Amino acid sequence: MHSYSSRIEGFHKQAPDDRLRLVAERTHLDAGSAAHFADTGNLPLETANRMIENVIGTMSIPVGVATNMIVDGRDLFVPMATEESSVVAAVCNAAKQARSGGGFVTSTTGSLMIAQIQLLDVSDPETARIKILERRDDIKAICDAKDPVLLKFGGGFHDLEVRIVDGARGPMVITHIIVDTRDAMGANAVNTMAEALAPSIAEWTGGRTLLRILSNLADRRLARARCTWKAEDIGGTAVRDGMVEAFQFADADPYRATTHNKGIMNGVTAVVLATGNDTRAVESGAHAYAARSGRYRSLSRWEVTKDGDLSGVLEMPLAVGLIGGATKVHPTAQACLKIMEIDSADRLARIVVSVGLAQNFAALRVLATTGVQKGHMSLHAQNIAIMAGAAGEEIDAVAKKLVARGTVRIDIAEEELKTLRG
Ligand code: NAD
């Protein structure tokens, strides 16, 4: 362990290569690792340096393309950015089995985001609530004045809600401004409006405003997908029934639901990331929505149709945009949008929710039949082979041996690599 001070005066003002040099010096980083950071691949260093603070380099994540997807009658390739093996393959498989049924049908509730303003120190919260609601026209004017560009694109203030929430130190009056953010995810847009509005709320009510920030529980911005898989396409009625039983387990038990929803997010997050959108915003919204009944449940629902086929539906908040954040800035995100020929945030949300449903189908199917480990074997074996030191053609050779032996373990991989190298 090298002991060093992590305090560097003015570090944030340095150029990325100077920062890297400073960090490398203090940590005694080897030249190879330092050179590795300096290679920023398909994200120019100047761009990266403007996206976040204290940049020293970039990190590449594989982008795979899901095939076979039909969303609202249109075939498309879906780029997915993920570090996890089997995620892309799972979508391809699920989408392939859905093709004879016509693929995925989607809908959305529009692009409404919520920002909250916290009001404290009011002795008469019920009256304060009504006073705020009376000011709807003023509130609309204050909000819309902050974003004429958004207005030009058909967005802006949409609705007003005021709730009384019991806090540990008494009631708080919480104003929700509901704003149509069109093709933007909208965090900055609504935060700006909430900050502009807060002083007026304090003045009208005589209270004290504190937080002014969007809610990631974007339950006015839901995306929905439904899809029917023909029983004969998925291995018959026993597989179908097993999948419904697997869903029922997830819906009844939070321990299972967490993993079930994680599977959905494997697909959702991969498309959200590939398009430069905020993965944490979508993830926090999804999990909060899954718990909206007071118990954490499955985001998807599965049932048998009257024709004996399997029907799956997924409904979740999906705050994604084509503008703002990294979406416009990251060249890979722009290229991914081009592959999908996306012209609206609404269409992107529809594709994302469809991928989430496809991912969920694939996970339920494999869990209700062979179990996950069998399918993971081959890619997992390749990773283990690399960990054991295999390079180039050795990777496949060692991985095949591991799969054939039915034991994917680092010590076995090392043994096989030794044998291979004679
Ligand atoms: P933004 O402010 O960069 O862009 C949105 C603006 O673009 C709009 O306000 C509008 O003025 C303009 N615009 C131009 N054309 C538009 C169109 N067709 N539709 C809509 N607006 C158009 O970005 P944003 O979407 O407001 O904010 C997103 C960023 O905020 C993300 O990077 C996210 O990570 C970050 N963020 C998230 C949180 C959170 O989720 N809790 C909090 C703060 C910031």
Write the pLDDT tens digit of every residue in 151-197: 999 999 999 999 999 999 999 999 999 999 999 999 999 999 999 99
**Ligand 1 pocket mutation, candidates 278, 279, 344, 348, criterion most atoms within 8 A of CB:** 278
- Amino acid identity, position 311: S
Burial of 111: CB neighbours in 10 Å, binned 0-12, 13-18, 19+? buried
Q: What is the pLDDT of residues 331-390, one digit of tens each?
A: 999 999 999 999 999 999 999 999 999 999 999 999 999 877 676 777 789 989 999 999
Give the whole-angstrom CA distance, residue 328 versus residue 338: 12
Task: Check if the beta carbon of residue 279 is closer than 8 Å to that of residue 400.
Answer: no
The residue whose CA has the least distance to atom 10 of ligand 1 is 150
Task: Determine the average pLDDT of the residues in 403-416.
Answer: 92
Q: Whose alpha carbon is nearest atom 42 of ligand 1? A: 187
Which residue among 113, 185, 217, 275 has the greatest number of ligand 1 atoms within 8 angstroms of its CB, and so is best to mutate? 185
At residue 17 the predicted structure's pLDDT band, cuts being 50, 70 and 90, is very high
Question: 314, 320, 363, 313: which is closest to 340 by C-alpha?
Answer: 320
The answer to whether the CB of 364 is under 6 A from ligand 1 is no
Residues with Cβ within 8 Å of residue 29, at least 6 apart in sequence: 23
Helix, strand, coil % (nearest 5) of the chain?
50, 20, 30
Residue 134 annotated as catalytic: no
242 backbone φψ class: left, alpha, beta (φ>0; ψ -120 to 50): alpha
Which residue blocks in 122-179 are alpha helix, DSSP H? 125-134, 136-145, 148-152
- Residue in 71, 40, 69, 88 with CA at minimum distance from that of residue 274: 88
Q: Map residue 400 onto helix, strand or coil.
A: helix
Task: Confirm whether 262 is a catalytic residue.
Answer: yes
Tell me, which fold does domain 374-420 have in CATH?
Helicase, Ruva Protein; domain 3 (1.10.8)
Retrieve residue 63's tokens: 């982008």
Percent of the chain with pLDDT over 90: 94
| Residue 245, pLDDT above cutoff 90 | yes
> What pLDDT score does 396 carry?
93
Segment 94-104 mean pLDDT: 97
- The Å distance, Cα 189 to ligand 1 centre, comes to 5
248-259 pLDDT tens trace: 999 999 999 999
Q: Which of the following is catalytic: 72, 84, 195, 233?
A: 84
Task: Give the residue from 145, 206, 149, 203 showing the smallest Cα distance to 177.
Answer: 145
Out of 147, 180, 183, 278, pick the active-site residue: 278
- pLDDT tens sequence across 41-64: 999 999 999 999 999 999 999 999
Q: Kindly report the number of other CB atoms within 10 A of residue 160's CB atom.
A: 17
Q: Which of 96, 176, 230, 376 is catalytic?
A: 376
Contacts 24+ apart (CB under 8 A), 277-284: 277/185, 277/320, 277/321, 277/325, 277/326, 277/327, 277/333, 277/348, 278/185, 278/187, 278/319, 278/325, 281/185, 281/187, 281/216, 281/218, 281/319, 282/317, 282/318, 282/319, 282/320, 282/352, 284/216, 284/217
Q: Which positions ≥6 away from 124 have C-beta within 8 Å?
A: none
pLDDT for residue 161: 98
> Where does the chain hold its CATH 3.30.70.420 domain(s)?
112-215
- The answer to whether the CB of 349 is under 6 A from ligand 1 is no
Residues 277 and 247: their CA atoms lie apart, in Å, by 29
Pair 183, 322: CB distance under 8 Å: yes
Q: Around Cβ 359, how many Cβ atoms within 10 Å? A: 29
CA dihedral 372, 377, 379, 383 (to 10 degrees): 120
Residue 135: DSSP 8-state = T
pLDDT at 370: 81
Tell me the CA–centroid distance for residue 323 and ligand 1, in Å.
Answer: 6
At 380 the pLDDT is 85
Residues of the chain with CATH 3.90.770.10: 63-107+223-369
Class of the CATH domain delimited by 63-107+223-369: alpha beta
Is 159 designated active site?
no
Ligand 1 pocket member 276 (CB < 6 A): no
Q: What is the pLDDT of residue 406?
A: 87
Q: Please tell me the CATH code under which domain 112-215 is placed.
A: 3.30.70.420
Least confident of 15-19, 272-276, 366-370: 366-370
Nearest to 86 by CA among 60, 70, 64: 64
Question: With a 6 A CB cut-off, is 183 part of the ligand 1 pocket?
Answer: yes
Q: Output the six-digit token pair for 128.
A: 């304060």
Write the residue with the smallest CA distance to atom 9 of ligand 1.
189
Å from CA of 214 to ligand 1 middle: 11
* Residue 377: per-residue pLDDT: 78
Residue 209 burial by Cβ neighbours in a 10 Å radius (0-12, 13-18, 19+): buried
- Would the pLDDT of 244 be above 90? yes
Say what the alpha-carbon torsion angle 228, 232, 238, 239 is, to the nearest 10 degrees. -60
Instruction: Verify whether residue 25 is a known catalytic residue.
Output: no
Pocket residue to mutate for ligand 1, from 149, 190, 273, 344, most atoms within 8 A of Cβ: 149
Looking at residue 206, what is its pLDDT? 98
pLDDT over 90 at 73, yes or no: yes
CA of 284, closest atom in ligand 1:
40
Residues of the chain with CATH 1.10.8: 374-420
